[in-house]
Each structure stands twice: as C-alpha cells, then as structure tokens.
Chains A and B, each alone.
Chain A
C-alpha cells in the first residue's frame, strides 16, 4: 500500500458525459501527478500540482482539467467523454516539486466509456 488513495476504482459511463476522479496523496506529500495508461500508449503524464498550484502540464486534452485543494487532495475532471478516453487513470504523489523525488502511485481508476 503506497498511501495514495483514489476513488472510484471503476467508472462506467457514456460518451459525452463528464466524470470526476479523486486522489488523496500520501501524508506529507505536496505534489500530485495525474497519468493516463492505455494499452497502446503506456503511461502518459497529464498534469502536476504542487501545493495547490499547477506545476507542469503534459499531453492533457482541453476537455480534461484538474485542481488541487487546500487539503492537498486533487480531482481530475474529464468532460465530453469519447470512447478513446477509456483507460486507467493513476494519481501519484511526491514530497517536493519533483526534483529527484520518488513518485508513489495510487491503485488507479479504470474508466470505461461506452
């Protein structure tokens, strides 16, 4: 158990819908990272927040957004869902902003878009 929690574990929804994925980092960690993992793409970095502020952005679609709250939990919002958004979404956390920090991953949310 990494100490990172994610909810829900599974999410099944329809195209065009909007969903919210939630992540709570390890105690003491200030950074939260979001990743998408699909069979053909591997682990793709989406976005990083550090202590409530956006720090780095990867290949995140405009339909996706995220935020980190004062209690350091984070939410990833996915809207206008398409079939291709079906994937595993992982949250990771680290102590600092990222320099040589080890990222600890949560168990993931499996999103299925029908």
Chain B
C-alpha cells in the first residue's frame, strides 16, 4: 500500500527564518510527486510536480526537491503570507492514477 508521511505536523517560524518540510513516501514506483498549498477553508492550490530523483523546482521563496524516498519543500526567508498547510501527494506507477495525499504540515510564520 502506498504511504505518504509528512513532517513535522506543525511548524512555527519567525519571518525570515528559513526551514524545510519533509514528505517521505513508500510506493512501488513513482509516477509523480505533487506539492500543494492549502489555506484554511480553501481548496488546495497547486505548487509543483516532480517526476524523478534529483529534480528541483522553484517558485518565489519555495523550492521543492526529490530523492528516491522523500521530497523536501524548502522555504527561504518566509513571510507571514506563506502561512498555510502544505500538502504532499504521490502518484504511483501502475494501477490507479489516484494520488495518495499526506496529512500535511501546518506552517505559521510570525512577523
């Protein structure tokens, strides 16, 4: 069974304090790994898709990286508006194309 574990469950940072969120996964074969941002009561907003180990993608203060067992979402010099829950989802090769979502990391950035 595919598994996705995100850590930490919650993270509090001061504005400007860089950190990383972790998404570790267990799948028979990786087709794609997705990162989403979700604000309270809103729908998940797509951030990145990563397909193979070694791949990196960046968007503003966010950078996603991928290895064979985990992905990191690095947040550089965060601002209060980066506060949200960050969700990771993994799509396995073969079988159903439905991604498995992690429980998310709740990030709060204090001014």
> Does any Cβ of B come within 8 Å of A73's Cβ?
no
- Min CB distance, A91 to chain B, in Å? 8
> At the interface, is chain B mostly helix, strand, loop or mixed?
loop
How many residues of chain B have a CB within 8 Å of chain A? 22
**A residues in contact with B98, CB < 8 Å:** 33, 45, 48, 56, 58, 98
Q: How far is the CA of A92 from the CA of B97 in the complex (A)?
A: 14
Q: How far is the CA of A35 from the CA of B77 in the complex (A)?
A: 33
Q: How far is the CA of A42 from the CA of B31 in the complex (A)?
A: 22
Assess whether B103 is in contact with A42, with CB atoms less than 8 Å apart.
yes
Partner of B97 from the list A2, A4, A90, A99 (CB cut-off 8 Å) is A99
Q: Which residue of B lies closest to A90 (CB)?
A: B43
Most chain B beta-carbon contacts within 10 A, residue among A88, A103, A104: A103
Which A residues fall within an 8 A CB radius of B? Answer: 2, 4, 33, 42-43, 45, 48, 55-56, 58, 88, 90, 92, 97-108, 110
11 A-B pairs besides A2-B43, A4-B43 with CB distance below 8 A are: A2-B46, A33-B98, A42-B104, A43-B44, A97-B97, A99-B91, A102-B49, A105-B44, A107-B42, A108-B42, A110-B41
Q: How far is the CA of A105 from the CA of B41 in the complex (A)?
A: 13
Q: Which residue of B lies closest to A100 (CB)?
A: B32
**A residues in contact with B34, CB < 8 Å:** 102-103
- Min CB distance, B82 to chain A, in Å? 19
**A residues in contact with B99, CB < 8 Å:** 103
Q: Tell me the chain B residues, 25-48 only, with Cβ under 8 Å from chain A.
A: 31-32, 34, 36, 41-46
Assess whether A2 is in contact with B45, with CB atoms less than 8 Å apart.
yes
Which B residues fall within an 8 A CB radius of A? Answer: 31-32, 34, 36, 41-46, 49, 51, 87, 91, 96-99, 101-104
Q: Which residue of A lies closest to B100 (CB)?
A: A45
Q: How far is the CA of A86 from the CA of B104 in the complex (A)?
A: 20
25 pairs of residues in contact across A and B, judged by CB atoms under 8 Å:
A2-B43, A2-B45, A2-B46, A42-B103, A45-B98, A56-B98, A88-B41, A90-B43, A90-B44, A97-B97, A98-B98, A100-B31, A100-B32, A100-B49, A100-B51, A100-B91, A101-B97, A102-B46, A103-B34, A103-B46, A103-B99, A105-B45, A107-B42, A107-B43, A110-B41
